Structure 1
Amino acid sequence: MKKRWLPMLLSAVLATSIVAGCGNGQSAGNSSGSSPSGKADKEEQVEIRIMGYNPESTRATYLKMLEEKLPNIKVVFEFVSLDNFNNVLNSQLQAGQGPDIIEVGGETRLLASAGHLMELTDESFTSKYVQSGLTPFSVNGKVYAAPLQSWHEGIYYNKAIFRENDIKIPRTFDEFIQIHKDLSAKGIKPQTMGAQSWEPMMKQSIGLVNNEFYSNPENQDFDERFNRGEVKLAEAWLPYVEQWSRVITEGILTKDMLGLSNDQALDEFATGKAAMFESGPWDEVTIMKKNPDLELGMFPFPGLTEGPGWLVGGPGSALAINAKTAHKAEALQILELTATPEAQQALVKDNAGSSFLKGVDIDLGEVYADCEEAFKAGNVYAPWTAVWISGNPIVEGYGKSLQEVLAGMKTVKQALEDADNINDTMRKTLE
């Protein structure tokens, strides 16, 4: 499709969620002429609006740092819930407006192709990040957003329940299944899930795909070939997603979970009514606020054979600058400050993750100790954010089809075929 049609395409597909964690970035020198540590009267402040889909609570320390270090800038953080973020953003961008700085994820390539994002390739901050953090936010070698911290998702578990019932961390998928059966036999709900959202089943199934498919070096070029329409998920992923679907056929995930929101499932886990809950660090603060005494841990998704397991994740969200911002210099100044060790530590203070800034080492803490082996092995991956061009529409369609699998209305193969069809449609539309 020609570029002039991209706004229409965005209207159709940017209603999808970003499906990620967090991100960060920076830019070239002090373009505004104001020193980050200098003083400025409130009358001289420039207002910069940042629109994000991660709540302000997950950015609190970072936003406070911006306020202290950049007195010439008044940062207005606008939170828009994930379910409606792209609808709101797209409406504003189509009107030639929108925030100065945008939190972006898997839709970065679409926004960049439509001319909505400022190119950041030659800004000095770019070289401060490792390439793996920049790739998901690049198009044809040009960088359009700077990564915030990585995200990862696994299985949170109640250590006390595991210990009291002599349950060990599963090293295989069979052991994972057996834990559910053993806890159920004792009258303990093993896993809760807010399946009202399409995300958790999608991610959990890809957790097994990571273990069995992406761990094989022979499949390292699969995602690029998938972008070109040369391979199909319904063929390559089918054996592994069918294995994962045992959590449905063996009654671990149940139809009633389709009525549970993420908040309801989180509350059920935090209050000790369930032993496990799939999520990521963005929910840690809320879980611990609900139950400060909870002994919280996380383990990776296990594979069919024993190993360190895999987490779903990678570069999360990132900061992009609206190409039509009236305050380019100040927006770049924020990104410049963000690409400092101090800012990176501030980001992970409220939303745990690793940093893509060179030389920055992040200690994730005891909660994620059981994931350490997977982290060290580099077993963290989410294909839709790492490589897929039309990642968000594809995984949303796939996730919603998995909801229908749980409801007994579709097969796993049909769910994967739905994802393939979306990929084909998007690819042809963008040609």
Structure 2
Amino acid sequence: MKNVKMLRLFLDIFISVTVTMSFLCSCAEVSDNAQQVVLAPKEENTRKEIRIATWYEDSYITNFKAYLAERFPKYDFEYTYVQRTNYESVIDSQISYDGAADIIFVTENMAKRYARGGYLVPLTKMVNGFDEEALDKFKYMDEYYAIPGVSAYECFYINKDYFEKFSFKPPSEYMDFYDMCATIRKHGMKPLSSGLKDKEGLASSAMAIMQASYFRTPEGEDFGERLGQGKASFYEEVYPHMEMWYKMIEDEIFTKDMCLMDKKAAIKEFADGKTVLLSGGPEDYNQIYKENPSINLGTIAFGGKDDGTELLTGGCEYGFAVVNDGDNVSDVLEVARSLTTLMGQKAIWKDSPGSKTYLKNVKFDSPHEFDNLQDALENNLYLPYTGWGYYSREISVELENEFQQVLLGRENLEDAFKRIDEKVKAIVEGN
């Protein structure tokens, strides 16, 4: 009996020791593994992110994006798209609470306002290779606050197959243009595609006639200067010259349904051969060929009222500004500097062929489709509202709103110009 008890005691001790050793071995194994996890080197993400805000959809800046991705593989670029109609107000909000992107597309008005508020980094030292014509747009207190983009303007794209079919020639005067559109209607076709959901296009057509009929005259050339002083009147001075523009509504070249059409829909309508003309700019060139690679494309400009001189409404309408947030500004400036180079500007231009760069002594060869515009592009490219003083953008927006009301039949042209004067007065006086 005593031996049995001793045997049981021995077995209990043996089992206890075995279990304990097993447990200790397991703990040691887990501890080793845990130590390996802790000591394993972590893979750090050393790539920096640079944010860019723009009013252009991705398809409009493919070359710009490709250039930056190839030029700076060490950075991750994040693009924020905001519709043009809301862009300025959105950036206003973001920049006021340090939430804006690192690089922002800016208009002349935006650049000067943000520079005045201390929100932008001066870029004077890196932009001396650009023409003063463009740099002046972004100047504040002897410093430049944006890198000029390429020129923007409004023109008409034409389907040359229809021009040949109907024996059209590029019109040199406004009446020739209206007669051509009337002939197109007689053939059972819609003359023009235009995405007037963005009201800028409609205003641009009106400003082209303002420029041709009044702003280029001795009486009208100082209109912008006087406007800022409260000594100019759209109703008294400009309205008497707008009969030619209103004829585009009377002849149903511009139609109400266009106010519901965006640019993408207008381009598709034109590329599908449903219209003969498309109102647009050089940035739409690539988009048209994406829709119809085999289209027989050309361009025409509006002619002057009396002498037939071709002119374009446009100019250096945007630039690239660096937001002064202090976090990674040295990296952002490196990227911005690359946009001042020949390669950087070429990438920007390739998204808008037919435009011109403002780099000194540099000219990119436009596609042959823009041959008809070359003289106007070099000698008669005007952007009227940039001469309207500090509130130029706000004033141009009011024109856009009023002209759309006229097209929709909610207001006659005379009352629209009276209202424009009232709104301009309120803007200038700060009411």
TM-score for the superposition, normalised by structure 1: 0.84
- 8 Å contact kept, 2:225–2:387: no
Find the counterpart in structure 1 of residue 67 from structure 2. 65
Change (3 A) 1:44 1:228: farther
Larger of the two Rg values belongs to structure: 2
Distance 1:145 1:228 in 2: 27
Distance 2:333 2:146 in 1: 11
Find the counterpart in structure 1 of residue 203 from structure 2. 202
Find the counterpart in structure 2 of residue 186 from structure 1. 187
Find the counterpart in structure 2 of residue 82 from structure 1. 84
How far is the alpha carbon of 1:217 from its aligned partner?
5.0
**Higher percent of residues as helix:** 2
Instruction: Give the aligned residue type for 1:62.
Output: F
Find the counterpart in structure 2 of residue 410 from structure 1. 411
User: Which structure 2 residues correspond to residues 365-376 of structure 1 after superposition, within 5 A?
Assistant: 365-376=367-378
- 8 Å contact kept, 1:315–1:386: no
How far is the alpha carbon of 1:410 from its aligned partner?
1.6
Q: Which moved more, 1:386-395 or 1:327-336?
A: 386-395
Distance 1:132 1:386 in 2: 13
Distance 2:252 2:79 in 1: 43
Distance 2:90 2:79 in 1: 15
Distance 2:179 2:137 in 1: 37
1:245 is paired with a residue whose SS is helix
How far is the alpha carbon of 1:89 from its aligned partner?
1.7
Change (3 A) 1:75 1:140: same
Q: Which moved more, 1:315-324 or 1:403-412?
A: 403-412
Distance 1:97 1:256 in 2: 37
How far is the alpha carbon of 1:335 from its aligned partner?
1.9
Find the counterpart in structure 2 of residue 344 from structure 1. 345
Find the counterpart in structure 2 of residue 278 from structure 1. 279
Instruction: Give the aligned residue type for 2:120.
Output: L
Q: Of the two structures, which has the highest relative contact order with CA contacts closer than 8 Å and spacing of 6 or more?
A: 1
Find the counterpart in structure 2 of residue 242 from structure 1. 243
Instruction: Say whether residues 1:149 and 2:162 are aligned partners.
Output: no
Find the counterpart in structure 2 of residue 6 from structure 1. none
Distance 2:307 2:265 in 1: 33
User: Which structure 2 residues correspond to residues 252-291 of structure 1 after superposition, within 5 A?
Assistant: 252-291=253-292
How far is the alpha carbon of 1:218 from its aligned partner?
5.0
Find the counterpart in structure 2 of residue 25 from structure 1. none
Distance 1:302 1:108 in 2: 32
How far is the alpha carbon of 1:166 from its aligned partner?
0.4
1:74-103: CA deviation from partner (whole Å, max 9, x where unpaired):
322222222332333222222222111111
Instruction: Say whether residues 1:92 and 2:98 are aligned partners.
Output: no
Find the counterpart in structure 1 of residue 7 from structure 2. none
Find the counterpart in structure 1 of residue 35 from structure 2. none
Instruction: Give the aligned residue type for 1:110.
Output: R
Distance 1:417 1:320 in 2: 36
- 8 Å contact kept, 1:405–1:412: yes
2:198 is paired with a residue whose SS is coil
Change (3 A) 1:193 1:58: closer
Distance 1:164 1:65 in 2: 41
User: Which structure 2 residues correspond to residues 153-232 of structure 1 after superposition, within 5 A?
Assistant: 153-217=154-218, 219-232=220-233
Q: Which moved more, 1:277-286 or 1:54-63?
A: 54-63
Distance 2:277 2:188 in 1: 14
Any gaps of 5 or more consecutive residues in structure 1?
1-40
Find the counterpart in structure 1 of residue 112 from structure 2. 109
How far is the alpha carbon of 1:299 from its aligned partner?
0.9
Q: Number of residue pairs matched?
A: 387
Distance 1:55 1:251 in 2: 30
Instruction: Give the aligned residue type for 1:114.
Output: G
- 8 Å contact kept, 2:157–2:298: yes
Distance 1:344 1:387 in 2: 28
Distance 2:55 2:257 in 1: 28
Instruction: Give the aligned residue type for 1:294.
Output: I
Distance 2:113 2:236 in 1: 27
How far is the alpha carbon of 1:386 from its aligned partner?
5.4
Distance 2:425 2:142 in 1: 23
TM-score for the superposition, normalised by structure 2: 0.84
Change (3 A) 1:119 1:427: farther
1:219 is paired with a residue whose SS is coil
Any gaps of 5 or more consecutive residues in structure 2?
1-42
Change (3 A) 1:119 1:58: same
How far is the alpha carbon of 1:195 from its aligned partner?
2.8
1:99 is paired with a residue whose SS is coil
